[in-house]
Amino acid sequence: MQELIRLRSENSKTFSMEGRKRQLESHTGAVHYKEDYTSNAEGWKDIDLTWEGNRITKAPYELTVDEQKATIKNKRTGEVSIIELLDCKPAGLKMEIVPDNTRISFRHTLPSDKIPFKARFKVGGKGLVTTRAFDDDGDLELETSLVDGILTEKLSKVIDKETKKERPVKGKIKIDPIWQVGASTDDCYKRLDYGDANPLWRPTANDVRVGCAGVPTVYTYGSGMRFTNITIPQGTTIDSAYLTLTASNPMSGAAVKARISADDTDDAATFSTVGDFDTRYAARTTARVDWDNIAAWTNELEYDSPEIKTVIQEIVDRGGWTSGNDIAIFWEDFDERTSVGLQSMRFAYAYDASAAKSPKLVIIYLPLTISGTATKAGVGVENAKIYCINQSTDEVFTTLTDVNGDYSFDVFEITLYHLAGTYESEGTKYNALSLWDVEGGE
């Protein structure tokens, strides 16, 4: 496959495939950046987290590290933040700086015999700074305070953040203050407690999750994921579609049964409240796909869903759908089909844990085309780019010749994308299509 760089967005890539098909890969997190986010002329660049000495520059931020001090510039806002480690107990623990596409973690890793833990950081600037403690079984309660620019983290016991109960450590504990470009409510999860009218709602969680778990209290989980700027025209034939999720927790309980559907709307909004989630879920697409018998996942590996093209087709066939609109996907087990067990769940990275590993929606489609014969057309040359001219009457061509006879070439199919403006000759205006989007030969 070859990437069509001109079709990049902040969160997506599009590839050209054999047979004129295209593959769109949309993430809930950024995969591209700009040096100047106000510029429409600048193209989107691949994020590259390679260290250049003590700096990372090819990202939505610029990071410079000087011993225990990090200076971070947010390229979108221009704001500068500073995070500096002042002290840490127990002594001797090394801080690791872990960059991601839209966030930077300042991580201490410790075994359980190093508890209690305490670290202090000097924090300055307007950047979003959050904190997190976790092990292989999930998030832990972390005591934090921010007073006069001093961020203090304390971990005195291993208490599960969700159950609020003390438990054994699984693996090593990681404790992070985190700087990030911004929080996202484009992926979330909801937990239902059997018999409880007040569900747990996590719009900025570190993971999306599905399944049933809990002994003796039983919980059932479902998630939402919103993918923005889906550049597929209304009515396009969807050849294939699937989700790709990256495991964030090695849950090994009974095989999980999940179901995938979509928010049945022309242009999905981000998730705001649990009531908003419930209303949209109740009105989801009639097309629904079961993802059953999900066996135990291995942490950090990617997993693809079954075929969900019927779900995506239902959305792009809507009368109000327009290329560039957004799609929200539901991945859930609210029908309680999974056998209840202690770890009958599957966790995947969300944006707020890693933009690079966040949920991905892959759509393979066949671009809409027109074909036919023209008696008159025009071709103009501007900035070394040749433009094919399609008459405003919507007549279609297999051969294009300009009104002066200077250019002539065969066109087998014209893809309906990226109108390049208008071309005027002898008082007649024509709609223009870029030659880049013409399938055929000169």
**pLDDT digit string, tens, across residues 152-174:** 999 999 999 878 889 999 889 99
Residue 431 counted as domain residue: yes
Examine the domain organization and report whether 117 and 83 are in the same domain. Answer: yes
Q: pLDDT category, 47, cuts 50, 70, 90? A: very high
Single out the residue in 154, 180, 206 at which a domain terminates. Answer: 180
Q: Assess whether pLDDT exceeds 90 at residue 204.
A: no
Examine the domain organization and report whether 49 and 61 are in the same domain. Answer: yes
Q: pLDDT category, 382, cuts 50, 70, 90? A: very low
Higher pLDDT, 4 or 64: 64
Examine the domain organization and report whether 248 and 389 are in the same domain. Answer: no
Q: pLDDT category, 250, cuts 50, 70, 90? A: confident
Single out the residue in 342, 366, 390 at which a domain terminates. Answer: 366
Examine the domain organization and report whether 152 and 58 are in the same domain. Answer: yes
Q: pLDDT category, 344, cuts 50, 70, 90? A: confident
Contact between 90 and 99 under an 8 Å Cβ cutoff? The reply is no
Residue 219 counted as domain residue: yes
Examine the domain organization and report whether 203 and 334 are in the same domain. Answer: yes
Place of tokens 């959305």: 315
Examine the domain organization and report whether 355 and 219 are in the same domain. Answer: yes
Which DSSP helix (H) or strand (E) runs through 282?
helix 274-282
Average pLDDT estimate for 262-288: 95
How many structural domains compose the chain? 3
What pLDDT does residue 200 have? 84
pTM: 0.80
Taking only the tens place, the pLDDT of each residue in 388-438 is: 434 333 333 333 333 333 433 333 333 333 333 443 333 333 444 433 333
Residue 111 counted as domain residue: yes
Q: pLDDT category, 278, cuts 50, 70, 90? A: very high
Instruction: Report how far residue 442's alpha carbon sits from residue 375's, in angstroms, rounded to the nearest whole number.
Output: 18
Higher pLDDT, 127 or 310: 310
Average pLDDT estimate for 346-362: 93
Instruction: Report how far residue 18's alpha carbon sits from residue 2's, in angstroms, rounded to the nearest whole number.
Output: 10
Contact between 20 and 8 under an 8 Å Cβ cutoff? The reply is no
Examine the domain organization and report whether 212 and 344 are in the same domain. Answer: yes
Cβ-in-10-Å burial (0-12, 13-18, 19+) of 38 comes to exposed
Examine the domain organization and report whether 92 and 176 are in the same domain. Answer: yes
In three-state secondary structure terms, 5 is: helix
CATH number at residue 289: 2.60.120
Q: pLDDT category, 101, cuts 50, 70, 90? A: very high
Q: Which residues pair with 179 in a beta bridge?
A: 104, 129
Residue 429 counted as domain residue: yes
Residue 37 counted as domain residue: no
Task: Provide the residue range defining the domain that includes 377.
Answer: 369-440
